[in-house]
Chains A and B, each alone.
Chain A
């Protein structure tokens, strides 16, 4: 388009010197206007000002007066900061301690409360807490209670990873022949799971005990 724009101006030159000069001037004016440097944003003068933001957010719109305008001061009249030599080692905002800082000393008898367990089990996401429970449930020799937990998780846990853990636990419970019918029922149903990994794991676990 910028190329097209120049072409238009060039063709106009043929129709009359005056018009062409005007158009060239107008183009120049437009380019200048477009590419002019951005002025620094003055407080209270743009949409970023607190008053404008308040208006946008509806906070105190039309009720709260804006901050009083600062008096206009000519640049030459403005107070100048005191001149100082640059000292790279200076730390003007940081006063040195007036006396040696005494760092605390470790006193075993006054220990603050601290966590005593592994970090994995502290502050874990709820999904991972469920996973930890499923892993623990699957690790132990199971009974009806463990079976119920695993079947329920396989049916309802929204996370595919947790349903995979439930299948893994059920696989181990199936070593107990008395539990196999319920395990196989659950695995058969899970073969139609919407997650392909879960469905395949259920299919293979089912085949392991019931045959393909």
Chain B
């Protein structure tokens, strides 16, 4: 019996060992090389041509940093693009301001120029126009603007530019930007410019660090505050999202205005986005940052300090909201959807103060254009529309700190400029420009995939202001504060 027991125990151990070995064998030798998520990523890359319009994405960020001599010889080399795409230097003029940020084509029909903000101090150039054929740069606002960042054309034919300058930030409207030259504006406050017939401040739209601007055809405009949490005291909120509804909506079929006092943005009402509708709109605060919300009335005499109002009204805050783009396909259907970026904060893990908050791309819906433009205030809430916020892309270590974005006309692909901190890693790498699919018909609200479309070749620079022309075939991007010391705007084409 004892002998039988020994044999039985030996057999059991053998069997157990065999089972364990079988387990390990399967894990070590038969484990798929790619896990399921990696296979999805690989599939996204494989189908690059169909999904993104270029043959294949870039595998990695560039680690090259051109010298000034090399960049001056051919500024197109500042950008490596995915196979199939092409780069042309639109302008590398010696007088092109070095920190060109947001920009757009002007006039909308048959454009001849790019009009761009320059993000520098009030003593430097604020706004320029660049001839898209010759690359010649001319100055529209020569001084007074601090950190000019957002820039858009309005439906009534003027230009709006904004300062990313905290609670001193202002919006300015420019009439006839192709024939307005070297205007100076006060470094602060709302005094007159040197050419008030062509450049005026817009106090009705309030003050904060202007960054995202999303304009509807009737003049309703969404604005974001590039603010980081904890500024001015721990626990203080990040940047808010507000909506301005003009007192008189613009008739989108009307001719362009001929005088700035005809602008719809001389007067109107401001509302702040606050997530949380449950229990009488009371489940508001940290922990509730996405989903459906309300528009909270922001009352007061212009110019309203929107950052202070956001804090007082418990508006929902995000980590450094940046650029914004209105979804034109939704707009064509009569609906409002706009998407933007929250930059977050990223530094290498080797530094003690990194958040690994890699930012996000988000989208907000706001009902129909008619609902989004109406006013029906009850108990301080404009109930005419229900805004709803959802993340589209969550940042990663690779795709960090998204900044500018545009939605490619015709394809709906998002092109996102990265403003990460790769240059301060042990192995420095450049910022990239990513292509992301919109959310499809699957059950989630997230992108169906992103790939690296372009990568800079200048560790001292970042891509900014990237946007498409109306056809979606040309993507213009600024290589901000690049090694040459002057501005560079590149024209990327070749999408299939």
Contact = CB atoms under 8 A, between A and B. Distances in A.
- A and B interact: yes
Given A97-B280, A115-B227, A164-B459, A105 B14 contact: no
A208 B227 CA distance: 41
Contacts, number: 220
Contact of A113 (B233, B239, B483): B233
Nearest to B163: A118
Given A112-B232, A119-B226, A122-B231, 19 more contacts: A2-B21, A26-B9, A29-B8, A33-B16, A96-B279, A100-B379, A103-B284, A103-B313, A106-B304, A113-B232, A114-B236, A117-B166, A119-B239, A125-B421, A128-B421, A161-B460, A197-B65, A197-B459, A205-B67
A38 interface: no
B42 interface: no
A1 B21 contact: yes
B94 interface: no
B377 interface: no
B353 A125 contact: yes
* Chain A interface size, under 10 / 10 to 19 / 20 to 34 / 35 or more: 35 or more
B15 interface: yes
Interface in A114-154: 114-119, 122-123, 125, 127-128, 135, 138
B19 A112 contact: no
A114 B232 contact: yes
A189 interface: no
9 contacts: A23-B7, A27-B11, A30-B12, A30-B15, A34-B16, A105-B312, A106-B300, A108-B309, A123-B231
A200 B19 contact: no
Interface in A88-119: 91, 94, 96-97, 100-101, 103-108, 110-119
A2 B14 CA distance: 10
A97 B20 CA distance: 58
Contacts of B380: 103, 105
Given A135-B481, A164-B460, A197-B64, A114 B226 contact: no
Interface string A1-34: 1101110110000000001001101111111011
Interface of B: 4, 7-22, 25, 63-65, 67-70, 146-147, 164-168, 209, 226-228, 230-233, 236, 239, 279-282, 284, 296, 298-301, 304-305, 307-309, 311-314, 320, 343, 345, 347, 351, 353-354, 379-380, 421, 423-424, 428, 459-460, 481, 483, 485
Chain A at the B interface: SS class: helix
Contacts of A182: none
A106 B485 contact: no
Pick the most buried of B19, B233, B239, B343: most chain A CB atoms within 10 A of its CB: B19
A184 interface: no
Which 9 pairs of residues, A with B, have the shortest CB-CB distance? A26-B11, A5-B18, A115-B231, A30-B15, A2-B22, A1-B21, A116-B166, A111-B308, A204-B67
A116 B165 CA distance: 7
A108 B65 CA distance: 48
Nearest to A100: B280
A201 interface: yes
Contact of A164 (B19, B146, B314, B483): B483
B331 to A, nearest CB: 29
B11 A207 contact: no
A45 interface: no
A119 B320 contact: yes
A201 B228 contact: no
A22 B307 CA distance: 80
Which has the most chain B C-beta neighbours within 10 Å: A106, A123, A165, A208?
Answer: A106
A91 B283 CA distance: 13
A32 B314 CA distance: 59
B278 to A, nearest CB: 8
Contact of A101 (B11, B70, B282, B343): B282
Nearest to A12: B11
A54 interface: no
A159 B424 contact: yes
A159 to B, nearest CB: 6
A122 B353 contact: no
A117 B459 contact: no
A161 B166 contact: no
Nearest to B300: A108
A30 B459 contact: no
A84 to B, nearest CB: 21
B465 to A, nearest CB: 15
A31 B8 contact: no
B160 to A, nearest CB: 19
B279 A97 contact: yes
Given A8-B14, A104-B313, A114-B231, A172 B8 contact: no
Contacts of B354: 125
A201 B232 contact: no
A191 B232 CA distance: 43
A179 interface: no
B291 to A, nearest CB: 16
Contacts of A208: 68-69
Contacts of B313: 103-106
Contact of B65 (A6, A35, A201, A207): A201
